[in-house]
Amino acid sequence: MRAFVVTGPRAYEVQDLPKPVAAPGEVVVDVERVGVCGTDVELFTGDMAYLHQGLTAYPLRPGHEWAGRVASVGPGVDAGWLGRRVMGDTMLGCGTCHRCARGRQHLCEQRDELGVRGPRPGALAEQVAVPATSLHTLPASVDATLGALAEPGGNALRAAQAAVRDQGERVLILGPGTIGLLTAMFARSLGADVHLMGATQSSLDFAGSLGFEHLWQQDALPDLPFDAVVDASTATQLPDLALDLVEPGGRVVYIGLAPEPSRIDTRTLALKDTTAVGVLSASPALDATIAAYADGSVDPRPLVRATVGLERVGAVLAGERRAGAGPGPKTHVDPCLIAT
């Protein structure tokens, strides 16, 4: 099979590799679609913290936002999975520690993260082997594009749920990238009055095309009471700004990760009686995300600006935006798409 492999910082190959064989407890999936995200970019550039912490190493195969169809099952796996359309949880816990026992495998200290942390190759290939326990079934109304958006969507849904407590609450989201826009979509579906703050007019214009009306750059942000503020950016200074902007008694949600440590003033946190929530992983919200996509209450497909083959992944990771691509922030990969 063909697979995209990062061999070193900014070095890559599309390789011909043996097809995976399902080990006990595993399935092999024919991959239909894979999303490219900021984590993959950091693995490509060499900036990813896991590389420096010894938690992953080159050569590596990224790809943790995926959808496909089960092609084979290993020993001990129900044959009913065969032919089923699925996506999979990125976070693969050890299954035995106290966190896994409490259903928090995404926080397992010994976890693998498919294509990100540990030895498991990711889904940027024609096939991928994953534990059957990580699978989530996709209904017929959830196509491959939506299926590959379930993982980022689950992160965003958790952020929206942490931010929105009641209908009509005013929620400000910092950073209209993929996660920020997904969070805005879920917050809107929960009844929030959604505002977005972005650094560029083009990103705000795209948010406007999705039906969001309250769009601001920082220097024009109105003096309004925000019941919750979600930092979905990678800007080092915005976590502290989020705390400054939120109403006393409100909530700040941190889902964006800056490349360098950011700071907040905990005196402000205490004196404003603010609740701060951090979000790591889609795991607890994958089923709810798939259900929202299935019933049409959230449709993030406009976020995908282009779908490319494996041969174009390196250029995408290096920052290429191809002529003719749409205005959205997300690129998808079809591993079976052959370059012409």
Domain 156-278 has CATH 3.40.50.720: yes
CA dihedral 316, 321, 325, 327 (to 10 degrees): 110
Nearest to 22 by CA among 105, 127, 114: 127
**Residue 283 in tokens:** 């795991």
Q: Residue 192 has what pLDDT?
A: 98
Cα separation, 143 vs 283, in Å, equals: 20
Under DSSP, the state recorded for 205 is: H
Domains of the chain, by residue range, sit at 2-149+300-333, 156-278
Domains 2-149+300-333 and 156-278 share a fold: no
Q: Which residues of 200-223 are buried (b: 16+ CB within 10 A; e: fewer)?
A: eeebbebbeebebebbbeeeeeee
Q: Residue 21 has what pLDDT?
A: 98
User: Would you tell me which CATH number, out of the four given (3.30.710.10, 3.40.50.410, 3.40.50.970, 3.90.180.10), belongs to the domain 2-149+300-333?
Assistant: 3.90.180.10
Give the Cβ contact number of residue 324 at 10 Å: 7
Cα separation, 248 vs 269, in Å, equals: 9
Q: Residue 339 has what pLDDT?
A: 67
Residue given tokens 């050569």 in the structure block: 59
Q: Residue 322 has what pLDDT?
A: 80
Q: Residue 15 has what pLDDT?
A: 98
HEC string of 229-241?
Answer: EEECCCCCCHHHH
CB–CB of 282/290 below 8 Å? no
Q: Residue 143 has what pLDDT?
A: 98
Q: Residue 321 has what pLDDT?
A: 83
For each of the chain's 340 residues, which pLDDT tens digit applies?
A: 999 999 999 999 999 999 999 999 999 999 999 999 999 999 999 999 999 999 999 999 999 999 999 999 999 999 999 999 999 999 999 999 999 999 999 999 999 999 999 999 999 999 999 999 999 999 999 999 999 999 999 999 999 999 999 999 999 999 999 999 999 999 999 999 999 999 999 999 999 999 999 999 999 999 999 999 999 999 999 999 999 999 999 999 999 999 899 999 999 999 999 999 999 999 999 999 999 999 999 999 999 999 999 999 999 999 988 888 999 999 999 999 986 5
